[in-house]
Amino acid sequence: MDFSTLCVHGCSKRYDTTGSVSVPIFQSATFVHPGVGLSTGFDYSRAQNPTREYLEQTVANLEGGADAIAFSSGMAAITTLMEIFSPGDHIIATDDLYGGSHRLFSHISKKNGLTFDFVDTTDVQNIKKCIRNETRAVFIETPTNPMMHVTDIAAVSKLCRENSLLLVVDNTFLTPYFQRPLQLGADIVVHSGTKYLGGHNDTLAGFIVVSDAALAERLRFLSKTTGACLSPFDSWLLIRGIKTLAVRLERQQQTAFRIAEWLSKQDKIRKVHYPGLPSHPGYEISKKQTSGFGAMLSFETDSKETAHRILERVSIIQYAESLGGVESLITYPMLQTHADIPQQEREARGIGECLLRLSVGLEAADDLIEDLRQAIYGGKANV
């Protein structure tokens, strides 16, 4: 079945007899037992809820996984994932990592006895050098947030299998529409469902998707026990958002490519980071392992003043955190998403006062380019 059809129709399971086209919101905390020792399959919504189950089966189908588990946020998903590890375990992670993940690993997971090496995973040899007896997993983002570095998932998977390590891939930027890490050898995929899967900047959600049923059962126990489950209403919002995932991403990617090309020609823009540009170091790997380049890009201005001027003058594009919605958002990573990373570390990775991150929405490409033009050079936008 085509991916677009899967997005619209989700999973085949139905939970009511009314013929409702829209999946019902089962806004119930608990469910009646039909008898002693009997269950409808649903007992308490922290453990499972029909609306959430429909969403989870849909996401599992899209990623080609054995199971998917929905959480109250992307960080709740990653926090629960860290519970499969024990004190003393070692994890190798991408160095250019979303600031929230870096904050969790550096301040919470380390406190709980885990150790980390943050390396440039675009070179598999950097990962290989860090493997030791205590290493249990490799955690990568590709493309990374915010520098858009690309890691060869299949190559890292091969290394992980040779060393009996789990491979975790954060697939938030590309979603299963453009990239399916499980098919490339990953064991676990995580998402901030808040972003493209939801697609409308109106709810928080997170997912863990796995290829192994035994690992799924272990994670479901942790999810039920720690309790960061996704509510029925938020599950319904994600179901609705996923229905348009394919068409949204196609349009957003087309616009992002036009903007990336336009920015590349501006004298006040020093560098554009977008995997869809042939000049990008990860372009060939992206073509090999993805079906598209996505709608996220970052760019470096010629000065801090230019960066601030853009943030303060854009009118259609909105200066706000988050990404992946129908509205275009521009972010200042050093003050927002990556503010908690020590300055020296942050700047060594290129996240400085001239770097801006742009999430391209569904507005007309010409309008967005004109908005950027007037913000960079001044003058009234012709929109």
Query: Is 46 in the active site?
Result: yes
The one catalytic residue among 52, 54, 67, 98 = 98
Count of Cβ atoms closer than 10 Å to residue 38 Cβ:
7
CA distance 117 to 128: 11
The one catalytic residue among 95, 152, 170, 187 = 170
DSSP secondary structure letter of residue 91:
E
The one catalytic residue among 52, 89, 95, 195 = 195
Own/partner pairs, 100-104, CB within 8 angstroms, 24+ separation:
100/74, 100/75, 100/337, 101/75, 101/139, 101/141, 101/170, 102/338, 102/340, 102/341, 103/340, 103/341, 104/75, 104/78, 104/79
Looking at residue 162, its amino acid is E
The one catalytic residue among 46, 136, 240, 268 = 46
Helix (H, G, I), strand (E, B) or coil at 70: strand
Burial class (CB in 10 A: 0-12, 13-18, 19+), 29: exposed
The residues facing 91 across adjacent strands are 116, 137
Helix (H, G, I), strand (E, B) or coil at 68: strand
CA distance 59 to 240: 12
Distance between terminal CA atoms of the chain? 41
Count of Cβ atoms closer than 10 Å to residue 165 Cβ:
21
User: What CA dihedral angle connects 36, 41, 44 and 45, to 10 degrees?
Assistant: -170
User: What CA dihedral angle connects 174, 180, 185 and 190, to 10 degrees?
Assistant: 60
Strands of the sheet with 90-94, listed across from one edge: 67-71, 206-210, 188-192, 166-170, 135-141, 90-94, 115-119
Query: Is 170 in the active site?
Result: yes
Q: Which residues are catalytic?
A: 46, 98, 170, 195
